[in-house]
Structure 1
Amino acid sequence: MKPSGGQARRRIGAFDIALALAGVLLIVLAAQNARPVVAVLRGDGVRGTFTAQRAECVQHPGHEQCSWIGTFRSGDGKVVREGIAFYGSERGTFTPGATSPAFDVGRRGYVYGPGGSNEWVVVAGLMLAGLGLAARPLLRLRRRPGEAVPAAPSTD
C-alpha cells in the first residue's frame, strides 16, 4: 500500500545498515588515532634524543621489515622511555649506539624523527571512507523513488 500522495515508501535494507555500521567502525578507528597523528603532523611533543640499541626485523615473503629499538631521553632528562621504537626506521637507519633527534607524542611504542610521518594520510582515508559508508543510506533515502542515478558524462 502506498502512502498518500502516490509516493512509494523509501526503505533502508540490511546491506545499507551493514555498510553504515562498517562506516561507523572506520570512523571510530580513525578517531582513536587522530590526536597522536595530528601531533606528529604538527611536530608537537617532547623533544629529545633517540639512542639506537638493536634492530628488530620480521621476514615477510619478498621483503623484510625492521625497526630500531632504543631509548628516548627528553632534552631536559625528565622523560626516559626505554625499549621504544623509532618510527619508520629500517635496518640501515642506525648502528648500535647511534643517536638522532626525536620527539615523543605519547604514542605507545614509538617516537618520531624530525621528519615526522605520513600516517595522517591513512587516518584521513579511513575517516573519509567511514563517512562515505555511514552516509550512504541517508543519501539513498534522499533520492525520490524511480529517480535515476545520474550517468557519468561521456568521454567520446
Structure 2
Amino acid sequence: MVLTLLAGFLVYLAVPNMGTALRAARADGTPGVFVPQRLYCIQHPGHESCVWVGEFRSGDGKVRRTEVEMYGSDRSSHRRGEAVPAVDVGADSRVYGPGGSNEWIFNVLLILVALAILWSLYGRRPRRDARRSGVPAGDAHQEVGEGSRG
C-alpha cells in the first residue's frame, strides 16, 4: 500500500510540470530578452548556488514579466542590465535561454520510477499466484486418460 502511494505521489509531482518541461526543452514559447537586475546566491558548504532575477520582455513588446529567474544562470553568466536572449515558455517564475533546458529528464525519471514500482507490485501478479497454489509449474497440465490404453 505504501509503495502504491509513493508511486502515485511521484506521478503527482511529475505530470503537472511535464508540459512546461517539454516546452522548455525545445525552447518553445515567446521569444524576447531577459534583463538581469539582481543576483541571488545561497552558500552551501563547499558550494554556491546563484540565479539572476530580472525582467522579461517579448520581442513584439506585448509581454512584460518582472521578478522572473533566468533558468540555468549563475554568478558569471550575466551582467546587471545587459539584455540576453530568452524564451518565455509559460513557467510561473522563470524564463529560459534560447537553447532550452534539460528539466524534462527529471520528470521522466520520476515517472519511470513510479512505473517500475507499480510493475514490481502488480505487473507480475499471475506468476506469483501460480507459485502459491502449491502446484509445481511442470505439473499444471496433465494428460487426460493417462494409464488407460484402449
TM-score by length of 2: 0.83
Q: CA deviation at 1:42?
A: 2.1
RMSD: 1.6
Contact 1:24 1:131 in 2 (8 A): no
Greater Rg over alpha carbons, structure: 2
Q: Deviations over 1:59-99 (max 9, x none)?
A: 11110100001100001111101111000000001111111
- Structure 1 partner of 2:131: 145
Count how many residue pairs are aligned between Structure 1 and Structure 2: 132
Aligned with residue 105 of structure 2, among 115, 121, 124: 121
Q: Distance in 1 between matches of 2:66 and 2:27?
A: 21
1:27 aligns with 2:11: yes
Structure 2 unaligned residues grouped into runs of 5+: 138-150
- Structure 1 partner of 2:36: 52
> Structure 1 residue runs of 4+, over 3 Å off?
none
Structure 1 counterpart of 2:3, one-letter code = L
Determine what percentage of the aligned residue pairs are the same residue.
44
Q: Distance in 1 between matches of 2:66 and 2:16?
A: 24
Q: CA deviation at 1:140?
A: 4.0
Structure 1 unaligned residues grouped into runs of 5+: 1-16, 149-156
Q: Distance in 2 between matches of 1:58 and 1:84?
A: 17
Q: Distance in 2 between matches of 1:87 and 1:47?
A: 15
Q: Distance in 2 between matches of 1:134 and 1:20?
A: 7
- Structure 2 partner of 1:152: none
Larger relative helix fraction: 2
Q: Distance in 2 between matches of 1:96 and 1:62?
A: 26
1:71 aligns with 2:55: yes
- Structure 2 partner of 1:37: 21
Q: Distance in 1 between matches of 2:131 and 2:44?
A: 51
